[in-house]
Amino acid sequence: MRPLTIFPQLLLSILPLLCLLRPVTPSPLFAPLEDPLIFLDFDGTIATTDAFELLPETAYKTLSYSQSFPHWSYFSEAYLSDYSAAVASSPPKPRSIAEELSHQSSPSLRQVEIDSFTRVKESGILNTTSPRLLHSAAKGVSIRHGFYDFIQAAQSRNVPVSIISRNWSAKWIRTILRQNAPTGICGHVGCVFDAIDRMDIFCPEILPEGCVSCHERNHDTPIFSGEDKREVMKGFAQRGQVVFVGDENSDLAPILLEPTMMGVVAGKEAEAAKTIGRERELWDAGKGWRGYTRRGEGVYVMEDYKELMTLFGWGGIAVGQDKVDMGVEWTPLDPKEIYNGPGDVLDEVGQCDDAVVDMVGLEVAPYRKRAYPPVLGA
């Protein structure tokens, strides 16, 4: 039989097999989020060194010898005593994700955090804290690599990035972010200080008025547990797809549960990664999209915020209709320029009042003097 007659017969024999093949739709390399709303924890997620303890340490350096306040160990021991009592009345040490979620949502543990905050605030040890010392101390906090690139990339794409933290001061958090921001060329789009100013920060506020300049996007909010973080995010869930990044077991609820569509753990050795990793896959954020974490199959982990940029498909600052002016030199403001003594509550962009968020209605005080998009809580 000649070759020309063999080929048609061969084709006819494999045709049924070819018909069984179906086109395969490849999984997207990047997260298919049309309107992401990104919420970040602060301590351990953005700050990689202890920013929480640094605040009272700085406050004690301000106190004069004539002032009589208990040593910080008094507050630490009181907290540990309350915590031990709360844990003693709880079930045995959690072993599963479900057990840890139940443990972290315990009302008694949340009350321990509230009592600790109230005890320190009512003591008055932070009432005379020096703004100059706070600005200086803030420079000693280490920020996770890639964070500033990440918030600039988000800003240039009009993606809101907010912080929800159990830290005790939004003023302190914003001071840390500003004092550690890289200096250099700054334009209208992608300016790092502009990106910081656009971030909403939700956490309790322990610093008094006039200690550090206020900011209209600082929200004095009772965040004392992971469930509190979820309550804040639920208020915005209809505006887009919620993304949450955290690191501790106290962040398990906002990482794993609704309204979060995509949960991320900061740090492969983080407490939350170890807990989740016992039962679910840990997906490397830097290797691209694996699916929505709400389905319960896995959770993304990252060491560097640039890995998160890879997951979102952000190559850097997106320049649209706004042109970046590369001729403007930007350096951090000197503390003298933003603080003029007790009672001064003016920041460099205008007068503001600290906004207080109602956890139920998310009602926020009115804002003034901003050309930015609406504040998340408004």
What was the pLDDT predicted at 186?
56
Residue 373 predicted with pLDDT over 60: no
**pLDDT class of 184 with cuts at 50, 70, 90:** low
Domain-embedded: residue 131:
no
pLDDT higher than 90, residue 267: yes
CA distance 226 to 260: 12
Q: What pLDDT does residue 360 have?
A: 31
Determine the pLDDT at residue 8. Answer: 53
Q: Are 348 and 215 in contact (CB under 8 A)?
A: no
| pLDDT of res. 283 | 96
Within 186-333, strands assigned E span 200-203, 218-220, 241-246, 260-266, 281-284, 298-302, 329-330
The answer to whether position 64 is within a domain reads no
Whole-number Å distance between alpha carbons of 170 and 260: 23
Which amino acid, 271?
E
pLDDT tier for residue 170 given thresholds of 50, 70 and 90: very high
Note the pLDDT tens digit of each residue in 23-55.
444 456 888 888 999 999 999 999 998 888 888
* pLDDT value at 339 more than 80: no
| 153 inside domain | yes
Domain of residue 194, CATH code: 3.40.50.1000
What value does the mean pLDDT take over residues 371-378? 48
Whole-number pLDDT of residue 320: 44
Query: Taking residues 105-110, what's their average pLDDT?
Result: 94
**Rounded to the nearest 5 degrees, what angle is found at the Cα of 314, between the Cα atoms of 146 and 218?**
60
| Least confident among 88-102, 192-206, 309-323 | 309-323
How confident is the model at residue 323, as a pLDDT? 29
Residue 78 lies in a domain: no
Residue 350 parent element (H or E): strand 350-351
Domain count, the chain: 1
pLDDT confidence bin for 67, thresholds 50/70/90? low
Q: Is the dihedral of CA 194, 195, 201, 205 positive or negative?
A: negative
15 in a structural domain? no
Q: Which residues lie closer than 8 Å to 33 by C-beta, 6 or more apart?
A: 240, 241, 243, 261, 262, 312
Question: What confidence category does residue 204 fall into, taking pLDDT thresholds of 50, 70 and 90?
Answer: very high
Q: What number is the average pLDDT over the span 330-354?
A: 34
Average pLDDT estimate for 55-78: 82
Whether residue 135 is contained in a domain is answered as: no
Mean local confidence (pLDDT), 219-229? 96
Pairing state between β 281-284 and 36-40: unpaired
User: Which of 15-29, 65-79, 302-316 has the highest mean predicted lDDT (pLDDT)?
Assistant: 302-316
Mean residue pLDDT of the chain comes to 78
Q: Can you give the residue range of the structural domain that contains 186?
A: 36-51+142-356
| Residue 235 banded pLDDT, cuts 50, 70, 90 | very high
pLDDT in tens, 117-132: 999 999 988 888 888 8
DSSP type of residue 147: H
Within-domain flag for 220: yes
Percent of the chain with pLDDT over 70: 73
Q: Is there a domain that residue 169 lies in?
A: yes
Mean pLDDT value across residues 152-166 = 94
Give 311's contacts (C-beta < 8 A, 6+ positions apart): 30, 31, 285, 286, 288, 289, 300, 302
Q: Return d(Cα 8, Cα 76) in angstroms, integer.
A: 85
Place of tokens 């079930």: 91
| pLDDT above 80: residue 183 | no
